[in-house]
Amino acid sequence: MTGVKYYSEEGLRKLEEELNQLISIERPAISRQIAEARDKGDLSENAEYDAAKEAQGMLELKISKLEELIRNARIIDESKLDTSKVLILSNVKIKNLKNNAVMTYTIVPESEADLKTGKISVNSPIAKGLLGKKRGDKVEIQVPAGIITFEIIDISR
C-alpha cells in the first residue's frame, strides 16, 4: 500500500498517459505474442511462450502499481501557493554569490524532477536549503562541491 503522493497537474497527466499506453497498446501486444507462441505447439518446451507470459506478468504488475499511484495521487493547487516564500512548485531565481551565476529552478515532487528542464526535487540539497526562505534571503547550502551561498532574487508560481 503506497501512501498519498503529491503531483502537479502535469505530473499526474504524465502518469495517466503512461497507464493508458500500457493498457491500450502494450497489453494487447503481449496478448498477441502469447497467442502466436501458443499456436506454435507444445507449450512445455516453448521459450517464446514462457518469455511472453513473464512479460505479461511484469506488465500487469506495472499497471497495478500505476493504478494505485494514480488512485492515491493528490494535485497541488497552484492557485493557493504563497509566493512570499519558497514552497513546492515555486519558481525560484537564485544567484550564486561566489561566481554571480543566476539560475532559475522549479521545486517539484521527487517523481517529477528533471534537471535538464530546471525542475529540482523538493528533497534535493538546494531545494531543502531554499524551502521557507523569502526574497532577498541569503542561504548557505551544502552541495557536493562544498558550501555555496545563494541569494534568492525572485519567487513566482
Q: Which tens digits make up the pLDDT trace of 5-26? A: 778 788 889 999 999 999 999 9
Looking at 14, 44, 75, the residue that finishes a domain is 75
| 90 and 127 assigned to the same domain | yes
- 9 and 60 both lie in a single domain: yes
Residues 136 and 84 reside in one and the same domain: yes
Say whether both 86 and 69 belong to one domain.
Answer: no
**Residue ending a domain, choose from 75, 101, 128:** 75
For residues 84 and 152, state if they share a domain: yes
Q: Sorting pLDDT into bands at 50, 70 and 90, what band is 73?
A: confident
* Overall average pLDDT of the 55-79 stretch: 87
Please indicate, yes or no, whether residues 112 and 126 belong to a single structural domain of this protein.
yes
**Domains: count for the chain:** 2
In this prediction, residues 98-127 reach a mean pLDDT of 91
Domain that holds residue 130: 78-156
- What string of DSSP letters covers 98-122? TT--EEEEEEE-GGG-BGGGTEEET
pTM: 0.61
CATH assignment at residue 102: 3.10.50.30
Domain boundary, last residue among 43, 75, 107: 75
Q: How far is CA 21 from CA 14, 59, 65, 66, 113, in A?
A: 11, 11, 14, 12, 22
